Amino acid sequence: MRTRLDVSAEVRSALESGKPVVALESTIISHGFPYPANVECAVTAEQVAREHGAVPATIAIIGGVVRVGLGRDDIEHLATAPGIAKASRRDIATLVARGSDGATTVAGTMLIASLAGIRVFATGGIGGVHRGGAESMDISADLTELASTPVTVVCAGAKSVLDLRLTLEYLETHGVPVLGYRTDEFPAFYTRTSGLGVDARVETPQEVAEIMRVREELGVAGGMVVANPIPREHEIPHEEIDGVIDRALAEAAKSGVRGKDVTPFLLARIHALTSGRSETANKELVYHNVELASQIASAMCDAPR
């Protein structure tokens, strides 16, 4: 394990001394934004974590080594190198065995964060059940990872291109709590509301940390979702984004895009159809989630053990 899992000196020191650490994914670097916006987002997200008292631990697979905590050169590599694979749970061992590179998804990041001892993870939005998923069974591995891996994921809900109702049903079936941070509704990524409820509303990072602590004490398996709505000033209203998403979905179907290629295709088309507004919204909700995750991680470190 020690030769396969490389935890940076900064992250290792923070974990050993009980300081707050927040995991960050790397698919957002390799597959989420074009260059140089991807580097800007990754670097700024790490800066936001530091500004709010946490050590950032961006996770990826580089040259067959699972890396927890990246340097600037690593981020530039992930942002510019061609053919970086998306690394979910199923892909990690293959990429490591082959000495390959991989940008970790939500599921992949959760698994590696847990192996490293990190309990809080900030991302943009989780994956979920795709529209038509009741027939296609196209369901993100993020959901099954949440059911089994003890990491709390702070997100702006699930990506708007998904079937949010079925996504919440799936999480309920698998016993994953969905907490709304200062909201009674599950946010829909670009928009603050979806018309769908959460399992419980929480008002402070300390309240989230207490729920995490009680779950650990009781031995409850799996993770939690903390749904943190996009800041109001960066929201794209339903009446605008819903039509854009429908058009992007129709284009994906016409082009025969399937499986793991669907989400990157849709995000790229939404970016084009909103003249870049979706990219700004995406970045801002990521930073907002990193801020809250850092506060939760700090509250976990302050909680009695």
Among left, alpha and beta (phi > 0; psi -120 to 50; other), residue 64 is: left
Q: Which of 25, 185, 235, 279 is catalytic?
A: 25
List the end-to-end C-alpha distance of the chain, in Å, as a whole number.
27
Residues near 271 by Cβ (< 8 Å), separated by ≥ 6? 278, 279
Q: Is 25 a catalytic residue?
A: yes
Could you give the angle at which helices 262-273 and 277-302 cross, rounded to 10 degrees?
120
Rounded CA gap, 50 and 301, in Å?
Answer: 15
> Which of 46, 76, 86, 159 is an active site residue?
159
86 in catalytic set = no
Q: Residue 168's Cα: distance from chain center in Å?
A: 16
Query: How far is it, in rounded angstroms, from Cα 207 to Cα 269?
Result: 38
Q: Is the Cβ–Cβ distance between 147 and 153 less than 8 Å?
A: no
Cα within 13 Å of Cα(65), Cβ side? 13
Catalytic residue positions? 25, 159
